[in-house]
Homo-oligomer: A and B are copies of this chain.
Amino acid sequence: MAKTPKYVYFFGGKKAEGRTDMKNLLGGKGANLAEMINIGLPVPNGFTITTDFCTDYYAGGKKFPKVLKDQVSVALKKVEKNMGAKFGDAKNPLLLSVRSGARASMPGMMDTILNLGLNEVTVEGLIAKTNNPRFAYDSYRRFVSMYGDVVLEMKPEDKHSVDPFEEILEAKKAKKGIELDTDLTAEDLKELVAEFKAAIKKNTGKDFPEDPMEQLWGAVGAVFDSWMNERAIVYRKLNDIPAAWGTAVNIQSMVYGNMGEDSGTGVAFTRDPASGERVFYGEYLFNAQGEDVVAGTRTPHQIVELKKDSPKLYKELDDIKNILEKHYHEMLDIEFTIQQGKLWMLQCRVGKRTGFAAIKIAVDMVREKLITKEEALLRIEPDQLNQLLRPIFDTEQKEKAIKEGKLLAKGLNAGPGAASGKVAFNAVDAEIMAAKGDKVILIRIETSPEDIKGMNASEGILTAKGGMTSHAALVARQMGKVCVAGCGVLNIDYKKQTMTVEGKKLVIKKGDYVSIDGTTGEVIAGNIETKPSEVVQVLVTKELDAKKSAVYKTYKDVMNWADSARTLGVRTNADEPAQCENALAFGAEGIGLTRTEHMFFEGDRIIAIREMILADSEEGRKTALAKLLPHQRGDFEGIFKVMKGKPVTVRFLDPPLHEFLPQEAKDIKVMADTMGISVKQVKDKIASMHEINPMLGFRGCRLGTAYPEITAMQARAILEAACNVASQGIKVFPEIMIPLVSTVAELKGQEAIVREVAAQVFAEKKKKVNYLVGTMIELPRAALTANEIAEVAEFFSFGTNDLTQTTFGLSRDDAGTFLPMYVDKDILPRDPFESLDQNGVGQLVEIGTQKGRSVRENLKVGICGEHGGEPESVEFCHRTGLNYVSCSPFRVPIARLAAARAALKDPKLAVKSADKKPAKKAAVKKAVAKKPAAKKAVAEKPVAKKAAAKKNDKKAVKKNTKK
């Protein structure tokens, strides 16, 4: 015979049948109610019907079997005994709440019934017990309408239709000439009950059920049914919650905070969810029900005021707070009710918080020895670090500006932080204005490499076109500039030097102030003050002494712990010594990508590079290249000096040559004059170089294959610089990277040139330096033939930006017209340029790594696409066994943390480290496997998509912290 299933878990007395780690079976709410009983907190008794039953309920045609009814009956008896009241009793009635409670939090999606058990008989008992007829009838009428709405399905589906009970209530109030519900008398409420019941009879053809047990099973069924209501289904879909999980149902004694001035209710966080400060943070109201605190009709009191109002209750609550934090090792969100002087805990769960608070709380809890460093790392989402790094607007000024209607538009939050400045519509103006000391916001339809200097001179960049990985966004993030991109409602007129916004009359002219928030995407007219974050003040601008910044101390702790935990290297993408210095300050262990082409736009170099491109002969190209050589060598010397022997990966010239060509008539004239040819000849050459799909055109190593002299010049610049710097006693380690290789033959040709030049340079300089020759794997074919390529390449660096473009057949520059729609329609979970497409592009990274190492066991493999700074992608890189990720300087801390979290989650590594380092083993094990309470608390966060979860985070915090 099959074992009788246990469907019902009682909680009450000294010991509950459930525990917090039984969340899958009891739902989050039920598990935590049980846990609070177990640690001795006062919780109104009750019992949970399991999620297993939910599954059986749907499988079995929505029936309640005898085994369930028997178990409910037993549990109910215990509740009656412990609470000293009897369900359906005429004199001392027990009233119940019936609530859903799934494994993952689904706030407001499912149904709830309160005050269950009231009828014409028990209402009299409640009056007798409380001596408060108005309270009793108010509870009664609320119950009847709730029951009618939810169980008897009278709530209109259309949100705009009026609830039938609401209609009756309003009629009553109108008739009485009153406005507030609270002005209704006991008699009024009693009449309402009768009218509500009549409406039920009329609407459903049935009488309102007077039998409490019938009420109970009706309510339980309705709550289970609500698991499959439209809202819940949509929510689950959005948050990737499987329907199969089911919900539990919690049946619990009612307690009332509105039984007079010795009663009350409140919500609180065990620490400040916005700042993370270790202060008891929340609100309460006397003689009120939970909804009154949230509804805003009465102004609730800060929890600290309770100390004055009732020192005893405050102490009791504060003790509970401490017990809870000590037990859960987490910052918690709690609900409580005080019924006639007795405190009851109604709910506890892990509290939502801002990124800033998340970091502070995690670090503080380590200091308080509540959690281990590893646990702390696992609690901080890497992107939350941004809140420690980005400049910020003065909050008051920004809110004021928005109130005044100065919010112009919202674009993509492409480069986080805040920036204000005067508008320039081209790079030259931006430079001129910046040289005068103005802060500049550069506004372009989209940016191109020619704008680099102007971007560098500006505080922030705003574009009308282009996505999260457009040129503007990429360069801005690398430079650490604020950027709002792809703000489609902007009309930018270069000729008139104006910007207008669709649907707005305002005209922004050159020199006007604009403020952009790259963290939110907001574009605001006027000037709003900003300041760099404290961490940046310490590390980059050096305005602030490290010792004076608590924020920096927190940051540093997190980073130190992360570095101890991670195995994945973190490098940076940087093209200039200043960027390299920043990156080192942020902890970069080398350069994963230096783009040589960015150097070509400085000063007169662009003339030389154009001369090289426009030359018709190898001779002409060589002449022009000779002019570039000293510049490039100087650049590399600067970088090598800063990097002091850390590896520096230099990529050879990559973009299509026409990107360097002049567009403006005057620049074309300059070129014609420089080269002694006609303007028409220059124009013809430019026209002849036009490409239909430049992304798939004459670029990367195809340039060096066609014109080996370009490769030779670049190799010479790098190796001469390396020798020169090494001669000064500074260590150097260049890694020369050949871009856009599709077949090993290309690489072989380029490598041969580099080796030949190296031999020449070393002979000339009488100096040798160690260097590597490797390649970017950025085309599917390169990944697929990585075993051939690794015969020549000494390292691989996955260029996942281009690899994503080719694997998806998706142009980063053009995808803006449909990619957002793809993410909206859930065709793609995320923008694949933002977060590595592990299922598709990731396969090529895996194939490439594995095939490469199949012929060169210790092949160094990294990633240098934008994904190198995106936490999920970083974790993927760790799992795939890469040696390092490389990202823009300001994302280095984020990548370090993400790498640490990946290592902590890595079961292989846990075993490995267990073998090697017994000390660490304990910590890791503790973090990953042990501490069920703590671990489960962490898992409390909805098992939803990160993006959605984050949105909810914000909303939840907002809702719960209304001040």
Contacts and interface: CB of A to CB of B under 8 A. Distances in A.
Interface of A: 691-698, 700, 702, 705-706, 740, 742-743, 745-746, 749, 778-781, 784-785, 802, 805-811, 813-815, 817-818, 821-822, 825-828, 837, 839-841, 843-844
Copy number in the complex reads: 2
Given A780-B806, A780-B807, A694 B695 contact: no
B818 A691 contact: no
Contacts of A818: 698, 702, 705-706
Given A696-B809, A705-B822, A784 B840 contact: yes
Which of A696, A697, A743 has most chain B Cβ within 10 Å? A696
Given A692-B813, A743-B827, A784-B840, A705 B806 contact: no
A297 to B, nearest CB: 44
A852 to B, nearest CB: 15
Nearest to A656: B814
A826 B748 CA distance: 12
A697 B826 CA distance: 19
Given A696-B696, A784-B840, A779 B807 contact: yes
7 contacts: A692-B694, A693-B811, A693-B813, A695-B809, A742-B808, A780-B807, A784-B840
Contacts of A742: 807-810, 840
A788 to B, nearest CB: 8
A865 to B, nearest CB: 14
A185 to B, nearest CB: 56
Given A692-B694, A696-B811, A780-B840, 8 more contacts: A696-B814, A697-B817, A742-B809, A742-B810, A742-B840, A780-B807, A781-B837, A785-B843
A695 B813 CA distance: 12
Contact of A844 (B780, B814, B815, B817): B780
Nearest to A695: B693
Contact of A840 (B692, B705, B746, B781): B781
A846 to B, nearest CB: 10
The 9 A-B pairs with the shortest beta carbon distances in the complex, nearest first, are A696-B811, A693-B811, A781-B840, A697-B814, A780-B780, A779-B809, A692-B813, A745-B827, A693-B695
A821 B705 contact: yes
Contacts of A810: 696, 742
A698 B822 CA distance: 12
B695 A784 contact: no
Contacts of A815: 697
Nearest to A788: B839
Contacts of A825: 705, 749
Contacts of A743: 827-828, 840
Nearest to A841: B781
A835 to B, nearest CB: 14
A814 B698 CA distance: 7
A813 B695 CA distance: 12
A742 B826 CA distance: 14
A112 to B, nearest CB: 35
Contacts of A843: 784-785
Contacts of A745: 826-828
A97 to B, nearest CB: 41
Contact of A807 (B706, B778, B784): B784
A299 B204 CA distance: 116
A691 B808 contact: no
Given A691-B811, A693-B814, A746 B827 contact: yes
A696 B805 contact: yes
A780 B804 CA distance: 10
A811 B697 CA distance: 6
A822 B840 CA distance: 29
A827 B697 CA distance: 16
A467 to B, nearest CB: 12
A751 to B, nearest CB: 13
Given A780-B806, A818-B706, A822-B705, A840 B696 contact: no
A818 B707 CA distance: 11
Contact of A821 (B706, B785, B809): B706
Given A694-B693, A705-B822, A784 B828 contact: no
Nearest to A446: B692
Which of A706, A784, A808 has most chain B Cβ within 10 Å? A784
Nearest to A843: B784
A793 to B, nearest CB: 16
Contacts of A809: 695-696, 700, 740, 742, 778-781, 802, 806
Nearest to A701: B827
A893 B788 CA distance: 36
A805 B827 CA distance: 24
A738 to B, nearest CB: 13
A240 to B, nearest CB: 14
